[in-house]
Structure 1
Amino acid sequence: MATRRYLFFVSQNYSYAILRPVQEQIIARGESVAWYAHGDSIDRSYFREHERVLNDLDEVFAYKPDAVLYPSNQAPTFLPGINVAVFHGFDAGKVDKKGNNDHFKIRNCFDLYCTQGPDSTQKFKALMPAPSHFNVIETGWCALDPLFSHPRVVNKRPKILLCSTFSKKLSCAPHLLQQVKQISASGEWDWVVQFHPKMPKDIVEQYKSIQSEYLTYVETDDVIPLLAEADLMVCDTSSVLIMFILQGKPVVTFNNIDPGDYLLDINDPEKLQETIRRGLSRPDTLMNAINRFIQQQHPYQDGHSSSRLLDAVNETIDNQHRLAKKPIDIIRQFKMRRKLGYWKFF
């Protein structure tokens, strides 16, 4: 059998950590993998020396991938190979301008959705037409493989990880600044702060200005070590909180748009310190709710989601002739070509 070729199509720095576990599996199987980075939001200096990087779409066509993996919501449909959605996060309940859930939306871009757990699998399967032009296969999320193999850390003092989305409407960062400054100065806990790469620079600078012996601001393309080393997260409606809670650790949220019983949600910054203390005590009712949530969202803690994902991709490659033809979305694909600046074969 000829060596299969996989392409990673990326546009944000978080894509590196999402796809590198899959890259390890591809290499271990003796197959071929390459990257294509698009746009100004991704730092190409994060590529490693051994990684193959294609410089333009002409090189992508010459590479002739059997499958293109996207940690994004939409994709061009004119590249060779099947299109695979591997997601850039979990469903955090965010909605679009029309009030619809933005995570569960079929944009006629993908041949395969590699879902993360029973909840997402059921919701995507409910969107499948008959006959379907895409597959839905539950694999677990490849980005979490390193999380479940990361050594457990015992901190001298509890470590609090503060994360926040960049959305002005949803972000907890500006509202909690003064409380975090005051609480961290006491030295009761160690704090690590890490924000979405699109966070406004003025907010980032405000948090950098309160760094101390007990608080560190971190910029990274790989949040996994931060998640593994913290004892509790403070967040808002960012999907990164789901990655954290899947470890069986408590999360305190500020104005979460859909707070379940697995979260400790507050709407008053003054309640932050007492709620963190409650979370660190790990009450039974909270931990039982967290465990129920894990079983629905991502029950796979074996670190082998990348392997399952590759199996799902290969299954879809082998059986793509069974899929119905994707509906043509002329407007979306015109915008995609314009964004990529690529008009050949059009």
Structure 2
Amino acid sequence: MRILLFCENRYAIDILNPLQEYVTDNNLPHEVMWYIHKPKISTFEYASKVRWTNSIQEAYDFSPEAVFVPGNIVPYYLPGVKIQVFHGYAAEKKDHWIIRRYFDTYFTQGPYFTSHFKALSEEYGDFEVVETGWPKQDWIKRNLHTYDAERQRLLDSTGRKRIILYAPTFSPKLTSLPLEGMKERLGELAERNDALVVMKFHPLTRKEWADEYRAWAESKDNVMFVNQGENITKYQLMSDVLISDTSSTVYEFLLLSRPVITVRTIAKDIYWENTATPDGLEEAYRRAMNDPEAIARRQWIVDNYDPYLDGHVCERMLNAAADYIRRHGVPNKRRLNLWRKYTSVKTFGFVKKK
């Protein structure tokens, strides 16, 4: 099977790399090519190890049979079964449920998502839904304790007992970054609970906000600012508690069965602790750490959002892709309206067809 791993945004690389690793580690006879969208991704850390291109023409000439996409859009003119694998678990964001007609099949993370997308599949009638789990969870399972030593070095060097990760979203309408008192309450929470606050911001965070928090961190001995280009999953695995707002990292952290606190989240169904203002962080922290009901709510997320923490997600995905091709053949085109075609071409350009 010729597989194209399609990356429009930087975060897609970490989501799709477990598929590459599974193929490589098991010596599978698949051909794998990466498409790296140069306007949004300046560097590709696996460039010397894998076959890749930032030319959409080369991606087309590769003639993929399966295209894995953790994003909302993929060029309609690429051949192959186009597979939506999602860029996270943020179900409260409206665009998570929009059907844009680019995809032949959706590989869902767990029962909650499967039920919703199967209903949409019946409504639209032109895509399938397969519950596989999320590929990044395979990487997490393999690396669950990879950073234990680095975590301990951080704690020893700062004299702290635990790590609180602050990972807000970048969206100006949703982020907690500009809220009055946010920095001060974070610092107080760290001091009262003998913790180190590690701040990891999204690469698209406004520069002025990132610069403000970076300067603040440099003045504190219990706050650390992490380069925005680093992999957040590493710091999730190193941390004891997450503070965020409306971000898919909330669900990724909950799937580790660890406490989460949000500030002014827009989520309708909240399975963690939420506070309307930074002033409520201390009380929310206490509940998240000690309340049995809070622990039970976190378990509901594991059971319904993504129970596939067995390390076999990539295997299921590749088998499901092969099964789709076996039943339907390799699709050559999708039924799209002119607007979707225009959006696709505007984003990725034209190709010369064979």
Cα 1:130/1:180, change in 2 over 3 Å = closer
Tell me the amino acid that sits aligned with residue 175 of structure 2.
Answer: S
Tell me how far 1:273 sits from its aligned partner: 2.3
Secondary structure at 1:102's aligned position in 2? Answer: helix
Structure 1 vs Structure 2: percent identity of aligned residues?
Answer: 30
Tell me the amino acid that sits aligned with residue 185 of structure 2.
Answer: Q
Match of 2:18 in 1: 21
Q: In the alignment, which of 166, 177, 198 is matched to residue 162 of structure 1?
A: 166
Match of 1:241 in 2: 250
1:173 aligns with 2:177: yes
Tell me how far 1:125 sits from its aligned partner: 0.4
Comparing 297-306 with 327-336, greater Cα deviation is found at: 327-336
1 CA distance for matches of 2:72 and 2:115?
Answer: 18
Tell me how far 1:280 sits from its aligned partner: 2.6
Q: In the alignment, which of 226, 235, 242 is matched to residue 226 of structure 1?
A: 235
1:8 aligns with 2:5: yes
2 CA distance for matches of 1:173 and 1:249?
Answer: 22
Match of 2:269 in 1: 260
Aligned-residue Cα RMSD (Å) equals 2.3
2 CA distance for matches of 1:327 and 1:143?
Answer: 30
CA deviations 1:163-198 (Å, max 9, x no partner) are 111111110122222322444466720111111211
Tell me the amino acid that sits aligned with residue 334 of structure 1.
Answer: Y
1:315 aligns with 2:323: yes
TM (norm. structure 1) is 0.90
TM (norm. structure 2) is 0.88
Given that residues 181 and 210 in structure 1 are in contact (C-alpha distance below 8 angstroms), is that contact kept between their aligned partners in structure 2? no
Match of 2:222 in 1: 214
CA deviations 1:140-169 (Å, max 9, x no partner) are 000121222323448651210111111111
Secondary structure at 1:136's aligned position in 2? Answer: strand
CA deviations 1:224-280 (Å, max 9, x no partner) are 211111111001011111000011111101111125352100012112123223323
Q: In the alignment, which of 116, 119, 125 is matched to residue 118 of structure 2?
A: 125
Given that residues 161 and 230 in structure 1 are in contact (C-alpha distance below 8 angstroms), is that contact kept between their aligned partners in structure 2? yes
Cα 1:104/1:259, change in 2 over 3 Å = closer
Matches within 5 A, 1:291-330: 291-321=299-329, 326-330=334-338
Across the two proteins, how many residue pairs are aligned to each other? 336
Tell me how far 1:129 sits from its aligned partner: 3.6
Structure 2 stretches lacking a partner, 5+ long: 156-160
2 CA distance for matches of 1:136 and 1:323?
Answer: 16
Secondary structure at 1:265's aligned position in 2? Answer: strand
Tell me how far 1:343 sits from its aligned partner: 5.1
Match of 2:39 in 1: 40
Structure 1 stretches lacking a partner, 5+ long: 95-100
1:269 aligns with 2:268: no
Tell me how far 1:340 sits from its aligned partner: 1.6
Tell me how far 1:9 sits from its aligned partner: 1.4
Say which structure is richer in helix: 2
CA deviations 1:81-113 (Å, max 9, x no partner) are 11111111113402xxxxxx3211211100111
Given that residues 190 and 196 in structure 2 are in contact (C-alpha distance below 8 angstroms), is that contact kept between their aligned partners in structure 1? yes
2 CA distance for matches of 1:334 and 1:344?
Answer: 16
Tell me the amino acid that sits aligned with residue 236 of structure 2.
Answer: L
2 CA distance for matches of 1:323 and 1:182?
Answer: 56
Comparing 138-147 with 175-184, greater Cα deviation is found at: 175-184
Tell me how far 1:221 sits from its aligned partner: 4.3
Tell me how far 1:322 sits from its aligned partner: 10
2 CA distance for matches of 1:285 and 1:185?
Answer: 26
Match of 1:287 in 2: 295
1 CA distance for matches of 2:193 and 2:296?
Answer: 30
